Structure 1
Amino acid sequence: MQSTAISIADRVEARRAKRCNRSKISQRKYRANQKASNTQLVEDVRELEMNNLRLEARLSVLHERQGVSQCIASIKEYLQLFEHGYNPRGGDVGHTNRQEAFVHKFVTPNVDYNGKIGVDYLLDQWATYYALFESFRIEWTTIQVLTVDEHAIVLETTVFMHVLVTDTSVCALFPRLAQHRADLADKLVGTKLTVPLRALFTHDAHTHQVTRVQATASVAVALVKHLNSVEEASEALLGALLDDNLLLELQHQHTP
């Protein structure tokens, strides 16, 4: 009986040792496979990075041939010239003349600005912005390439418009507030408002002149940030003429 018990115990121990040995072998195989997999992954990532660099280099060369850098430079110059607005009725006459001369080179005569046509309309918009606020400043942050083909080069620009709001601004842009919500109007008057803008410039691929400008303003974002209240911002936007189309309805209004 004792011999039988020992024999059974030996067999159990042998099976346990065998399982343990198989487990060790499996673990070694798993670690080896995992190491090989990780090594291959690192190599694949490195290869992808190199391919991306090669593609970016080719794209950069292609963009240079098509004049993308020239278009970017012209947008920068445009925004710098109009950094503090456009005042055709006074101020630095020489600077105003430079602005007008540049715009006539920068855009085509029938440039499309948010659905309206012509250089005069574009300049009228700038004059409106300047007249409506006590101070006005444009700050561009990024210029990115969206599309490039044989016909057009489309660039996206992100901009911040910093303005000082006055009674005149509120009466012109938020007429309902001026009449019915003097408390909200008072919260806006005398404050600096920062409005995020996004503009798409479509350039002719051959002349590099701008044929179309699509500009939108995040007015709601600016008001929520300033008023610190979604409800008050929504109230302010009711009947407002300052909208995401960048004051398109104000070009015929006369500001005192």
Structure 2
Amino acid sequence: MMVHRPNFAMEAAIVYAMKTPQVVIDIEMAKRAAAIRKVLMKKATRRNQSKINQRRYRAQQKCTTDLLNQTVIQLRTDVARMEGRLETMKLAIPPPLRTFEPECNVANEYFRMFVYGYNLDPACAQHTTQFDFLNSTMSPDLVIMGNVGLDKLLQQWVLYVNTFEAFHMELHQAHVVSFSPNVVVHAQTTLHLRISRKSIQLLFPHLLNNEPLTQKLIGRVLHLYSQQHFIFDHHGVVQELGTFVNTTLALVNLLGNLDDVLAVIGDFHLGENAEIVVVSTDD
């Protein structure tokens, strides 16, 4: 058998309600309703403000996008206009002038590299450098001293080094004198050549019986004024190397009197093209 216990809280509420006047109850209900309405209004206001903010953001985004699109279109128009102006300016500007610096550099480097002659020692680095320079800047079919081929130039360098006790090539100036149909560089130099008995044997063999004049020449320096021209092909390679030397003036300055000059120059084996002519002594 179950025993029902009294619910004192419920009974207290019923007693309170019975004792509370109706006006108080209505006021409480009104307060609660007002609070609920206030909460609902706040929620509605927030939703409305959120919608307004979203519309404003979308409007700003659209405005920004439209502005960017207009800017891109304007930039494309400006770029096209500038490219057109650039092409017009390119047509108006003349092509750069040819300086011929590469050809002048070749000539200047030639005189710098061979200022003291040609190194004949194949084991020496200088010999390799000089040989490689000639092969890279001179044509294999080089025209020189009435011959064709780089071997003639190398042969003459060997003769100069073996003929004179000392060799010094002094460059005074080098400049372009022609550019059509080929670039031509003209150079002015002085060859300082110290004479030895071997020099006399090779260049003045007829003086070997003239000991006084031979002694007058031994140890002296022949200052030989020289003009050289380098003719280049269209690839910047030397295809012709020409030389002119004033041997008569050099001998006059060396000996000082006409009789000795005439005696020496009668069978001088150095041509006006600076070629040392080797004469065979074989019968």
Q: What one-letter code is carried by the residue in structure 2 that aligns with 1:159?
A: T
Give distance in 1, aligned partners of 2:190 and 2:280: 24
Q: How many residues align?
A: 186
Whole-angstrom CA distance in 2 between matches of 1:178 and 1:73: 43
Task: Indicate conservation of the 8 Å contact 1:203/1:209, yes or no.
Answer: yes
- Aligned pairs for 1:44-123 (under 5 A) are 62-64=97-99, 68-88=100-120, 90=121, 93-123=124-154
Q: Is the 8 A contact 2:243 2:273 kept in 1?
A: yes
- Among all aligned residue pairs of Structure 1 and Structure 2, give the percentage whose two residues are the same amino acid: 24
Q: How does 1:106-255 map to 2 (within 5 A)?
A: 106-149=137-180, 151-179=181-209, 181-204=210-233, 206-250=234-278
CA deviations on 1:40-89 (whole Å, 9 max, x unpaired) are xxxxxxxxxxxxxxxxxxxxx6332xxx111111111111111111132x
Question: Residues 197-256 of structure 1: CA distance to partner in whole angstroms, max 9, x if unpaired?
Answer: 11111011x211000011111111111001111332122100110221213423x879xx
Larger radius of gyration: 2
Q: Deviations over 1:157-201 (max 9, x none)?
A: 11111111000001110011113x222221111111111111111
Runs of 4+ in 1 over 2 A off after TM superposition: none
Structure 1 residues without counterparts, runs of 5 or longer: 1-60
Return the alpha-carbon distance in structure 1 between the equivalents of residues 208 and 123 of structure 2: 33
8 Å Cα contact 2:271-2:277 kept in structure 1: no
Cα gap change, 1:220 to 1:148, in 2 (>3 Å): same
State the AA in 2 paired with 1:77.
E
Q: Return 5+ residue gaps in structure 2 as ranges.
A: 1-95
Shift of 1:144: 2.4
RMSD of aligned residue pairs (Cα, Å):
1.8
Tell me the TM-score normalised to structure 2 length. 0.62
Q: Does structure 2 retain, via aligned residues, the 8 Å contact 1:174–1:242?
A: no
- Please state whether the residue corresponding to 2:139 is helix, strand or coil: strand
Deviations along 1:131-174, one digit per CA (max 9) or x if unpaired, are 1111111111011222111x310111111111110000011100
**TM-score, with length taken from structure 1:** 0.68
Which deviates the most, 103-112 or 184-193? 184-193
Aligned residue in 2 for 1:34? none
- Of residues 231-240 and 105-114 in structure 1, the stretch that sits farther from structure 2 once superposed is 231-240
